[in-house]
Every structure is written in structure tokens, then in C-alpha cells.
Amino acid sequence: MKRTLLSCALGAFVAISPCVRSAEPAPDPKSAFARPIVLGPDDKEAFAAPPAGFNTTKNDVPHGRLEMVEYESKSVKTKRRMQVYTPPGYSKETKYPVLYLLHGIGGDENEWQHFAKVDALLDNLIAEKKAAPMIVVMPNGRARKNDRPEGDIYASAPAFADFERDLFDDVIPTIDSRFSTIPDREHRALAGLSMGGGQTLNFGLTHLDSFAWIGAFSPAPNTKPPATLVPDPAATGKRLKYFLLTCGNKDGLINISQGMHVYLKEKGVPHVWHVDGHGHDAIHWAHSLHEFAQRIFR
């Protein structure tokens, strides 16, 4: 677990390397975590930690289904896989909203389940009527033929940018064709951790015709500049139904999230900024998902 978390965190830094053309040697990703953490007055908790057992499988609540779905990716030109959660009582006669959940650079379509036990987390919230019944899709954000997190995982950074096409051209159409979804922006959410948090901001904020709900949890430096992602703050603010941005106060990546928060605040874009006492870790991500799942599709 520790090795996976570290890979996920450190690997995010090479996401910026494809844009750099220099004879200089690539910086050591570990050095980025040596950046001093400077907290400001806004860097505080916006919500409480979830109760104990929030993502523990319980026998006295209805359970949804978690399945591995294979699809043909036209953009990658190979078959790929994604995990899909359908809520308790899922029926083709009912239409459901969809949350797309993106992983970090050291993970794959299994990472969110390992870190947060997504099926149990959603089962419990739905049973308590704290979350709307929803489909959750956990794709592989590494859009290349060998999409396993093996070897030099840092070298896979360009494939995370390439995932934009796979997401819109293949993943979403596959889900809408095979599952009973409501295929519009008001019923589609995008969230992710670390590298996936950067993807969420890069893809979600520039495709508000596809997503109305955005959640970025400790986004990595693959995140594009705020002014690039939100060139028209007024229009972005009107279209977003909910925007959650989170990071831990022990996370060396917090400057990325802080920069986004400051820009959004200055430009008057409504969002929730949450900073807890964790680092770049699974506890922070599971807690953030627990909060996000309760706020979307309401």
C-alpha cells in the first residue's frame, strides 16, 4: 500500500514533462514534495471526517454490484477495462446518473476500490438516503495499449493526457449504451485523485457541456493553469452545479490546489475548498469521495 501511494503521488510530477523541450535532465519527482507547505487563512476543513465504518461492508444494507467491463477503445485501438458499480436494486427500467472516478499515476481501474472500497461506501450512503442511487465508473486513465502500472510508471504521463479522447469517444459512449443512464451533463459527474484530480480539472472544466459536477482531490501538477481552464469565470460559475476541491495540509502538492482555489475565489467561481490534516494519501481521498458522493445529483 505505501509503495502504491508513493508511486501515485510522486509520479504525478512527470505529467508536466511532455510540454518541456530541454537538454536539461528531468527533475527528480521526489524533489517536488520538498516544497515548503505554506498554509493560508482559507486552508481549513469545510466538512467533518466521515463516521467510523463509512466504507465497511455491512450485512444489514442492500448491496450494489461491482463488475469489470471490457470495451473496444477506438482511440487507443485495443480492448480496455473499467470497473463499474451499479447501485442496489439497479434496473433497466430506471435511469441513473453517472460518476466517473479517475485514479492516480501509480494505479489503474482497481485503485479507487483498493483505496476507498467504493461499493461499500456507496451502498452505505444510499441505504442512509444520503446519496442518490448512481452508477460509478472507474476507468483506466492511462490511455495506451500497455496500460498496466508497471516498469517506469513516470514514463506513462503522456498517456494520461491522451485519456481525454478515450473518455469522451469510448468510455462515456460505452457506459451510455450498456447501462441505463441519463446521458446529459446534469446527470454526469467527474472526480479524481492526484493525477486523476488533474485530469478532472483539465477535462471537466473544459467540457462543461458533459459534466455539471466536479471533484478534484489533491490534484497533481498535470493540472493546467487556472486561467487556461477557466477563461470565462462567470460562464463557468453558472454552469457548475457543484465543485469540490480538496487537499491535505501535509501534502507537498498543496500549492497546486491553493493556486486553483485563489484564482476561483478572486474570480467569484463558486466552489468548496477543503483542507484536512492528511497528506497525499488514501484516507484523504476516501473522505473526499464520501463528501462528494453526498452532494452530487441533488
Q: Residue 30's pLDDT is what?
A: 52
Q: Residue 18's pLDDT is what?
A: 30
Provide the mean pLDDT of the chain. Answer: 91
**Position 59 in a domain:** yes
Q: Residue 154's pLDDT is what?
A: 76
Residues of the chain short of pLDDT 70, as ranges, are: 1-34
**Position 282 in a domain:** yes
**Position 143 in a domain:** yes
Residue 208, CB-side half-sphere exposure with 13 Å CA sphere: 17
Q: Residue 291's pLDDT is what?
A: 98
Q: Residue 155's pLDDT is what?
A: 82
**Position 265 in a domain:** yes
CB 217 within 8 A of CB 249: no
What does the pLDDT look like over 13-37, one tens digit per residue? 333 333 322 333 334 455 566 689 9
Instruction: Work out how many domains the chain is built from and give that number.
Output: 1
Q: In what order do the strands lie in the sheet with 135-139?
A: 65-73, 78-86, 135-139, 98-102, 188-193, 213-217, 242-248, 272-276
- Residue 194, all three cell numbers: 492526484
**Position 31 in a domain:** no
Q: If you count them, how many residues does the chain have? A: 298
**Position 15 in a domain:** no
CATH number at residue 264: 3.40.50.1820
What does the pLDDT look like over 232-262, one tens digit per residue? 999 999 999 999 999 999 999 999 999 999 9
Q: How far is CA 152 from CA 16, 59, 114, in A?
A: 16, 41, 21
Q: Residue 2's pLDDT is what?
A: 38
**Position 7 in a domain:** no
**Position 17 in a domain:** no
Q: Residue 35's pLDDT is what?
A: 81
Other beta carbons within 10 angstroms of residue 33's beta carbon come to 16
Domain range enclosing 287 = 49-295
